[in-house]
Amino acid sequence: MKIGFIGLGHMGGPMAKNLVAAGHELKVFDLVPAAVQSLVDAGATAVVTAAEAASEVEVLISMLPASQHVEGLYLGDTGLLGAIDASTLVIDSSTIAPESARKVAAAAAERGITMIDAPVSGGTAGAAAGTLTFIVGGSSEALERARPVLEKMGKNIFHAGDSGAGQVAKICNNMLLAVLMAGSAEAIQLGVANGLDPKVLSDIMQKSSGRNWALELYNPYPGVMESVPSSNGYQGGFGVDLMAKDLGLAMEAALQTRSSTPMGALARSLYALHSGQGKGALDFSSIQQLFSDL
């Protein structure tokens, strides 16, 4: 299949590599030349504009940081929607505001183009291993068209509902993830301050009722787990500023529906504080540093 891929960062890069490895013909574009080169080395073809990546492809995938990047790419007089053939299926896997996803999908539909939101969960390790969870918003027919491509990058594919629903589910998940990560960091530090070894405590909690994804796969305390950002100076992974963005999206969704989200609000504040201390580019598990003098 001919596929265009725009946004080759921590997530988009390994996702695109899995599509190349599966035998698809990829045209790739990113603003960062090194990100493009890495895909060319893997067998993809570099193009110099987003419009080139979007032309003469059966599927176009975008994996950008936030709502403004996605709206900026697709909408407006110079937006990509004007350059995409109606036969091309558009999949946006970025985590963005549900309203943005609906707005771009509606603008696509006006031009006869089918677009789904398909944000992902599973982190950079899941992106590299091709085991991501895709959370899709859009029609069932569009999801079935996307499925063969999504299956090359992920293991679990969920249909959350209509356009934007994938984003709502993703935002709820990430709010819970932030709460669990901050809570795990706080608990580990409490144990360390009271004389426990962080690895021994983590092993205990992982097999006890405090068990959660952060403890099992993404321990925030340096040296407890190999091959996670906390043991690599909190480099790579999922940025603090991206988590702060997702918590902001959760708070907006809560405001719109008068939902009470006290734990999410506290997590948003903690991540804002951490980012304000110059930690925005570190992995989100570095929230451990708020509690520990590392």
Residue 63 as a binder of ligand NAD (CB under 6 A): the answer is: yes
Q: For residues 15 and 33, what is the distance between their CA atoms, to the nearest angstrom? A: 17
Among 35, 104, 185, 244, binds ligand NAD (CB under 6 A): 35
Q: For residues 214 and 229, what is the distance between their CA atoms, to the nearest angstrom? A: 12
Residue 230 as a binder of ligand NAD (CB under 6 A): the answer is: no
Q: For residues 57 and 214, what is the distance between their CA atoms, to the nearest angstrom? A: 38
Sequence length of the chain is 294
Alpha-carbon separation of residue 168 from 117, 140, 141, 293, 294 (angstroms) = 10, 17, 20, 35, 35
Residue 218 as a binder of ligand NAD (CB under 6 A): the answer is: no
Residue 109 as a binder of ligand NAD (CB under 6 A): the answer is: no
Among 61, 73, 105, 168, binds ligand NAD (CB under 6 A): 73
Residue 20 as a binder of ligand NAD (CB under 6 A): the answer is: no
In Å, the largest CA–CA distance within the chain is 63
Residue 164 as a binder of ligand NAD (CB under 6 A): the answer is: no
Q: Which is nearer to ligand NAD, 8 or 287 (CB)?
A: 8
- Tell me which residue has its CB nearest to ligand NAD: 9
Q: Which is nearer to ligand NAD, 238 or 271 (CB)?
A: 238
- Is 170 among the catalytic positions? yes
Residue 40 as a binder of ligand NAD (CB under 6 A): the answer is: no
Residue 65 as a binder of ligand NAD (CB under 6 A): the answer is: yes
The answer for residues whose C-beta is within 8 angstroms of residue 7's C-beta and 6 or more apart is 30, 62, 63, 64, 69, 94
Q: Which is nearer to ligand NAD, 120 or 165 (CB)?
A: 120
Residue of 27, 170, 245, 279 marked catalytic: 170
Residue type, 103: K
User: How many residues form the binding site for ligand NAD (CB under 6 A)?
Assistant: 28
Q: Which is nearer to ligand NAD, 8 or 270 (CB)?
A: 8
Residue 229 as a binder of ligand NAD (CB under 6 A): the answer is: no
Q: List the structure tokens of 82.
A: 């004007």
Of the listed pieces 2-10, 38-46, 158-166, 254-262, which binds ligand NAD according to CB under 6 A?
2-10
Q: Residues 72, 75, 80, 81: what is their CA dihedral angle, to the nearest 10 degrees?
A: 160
The answer for residues whose C-beta is within 8 angstroms of residue 27's C-beta and 6 or more apart is 2, 3, 4, 5, 44, 45, 46, 47, 52, 53, 57
Q: List the structure tokens of 163.
A: 């356009």
Residue 193 as a binder of ligand NAD (CB under 6 A): the answer is: no
Residue 120 as a binder of ligand NAD (CB under 6 A): the answer is: yes
Q: To 10 degrees, what angle do helices 98-110 and 67-74 make? A: 10
Residues in contact with ligand NAD by CB under 6 A are: 6-12, 29-32, 35, 50, 63-65, 69, 73, 94-95, 120-121, 123-124, 237-238, 242, 246
Catalytic positions are: 170
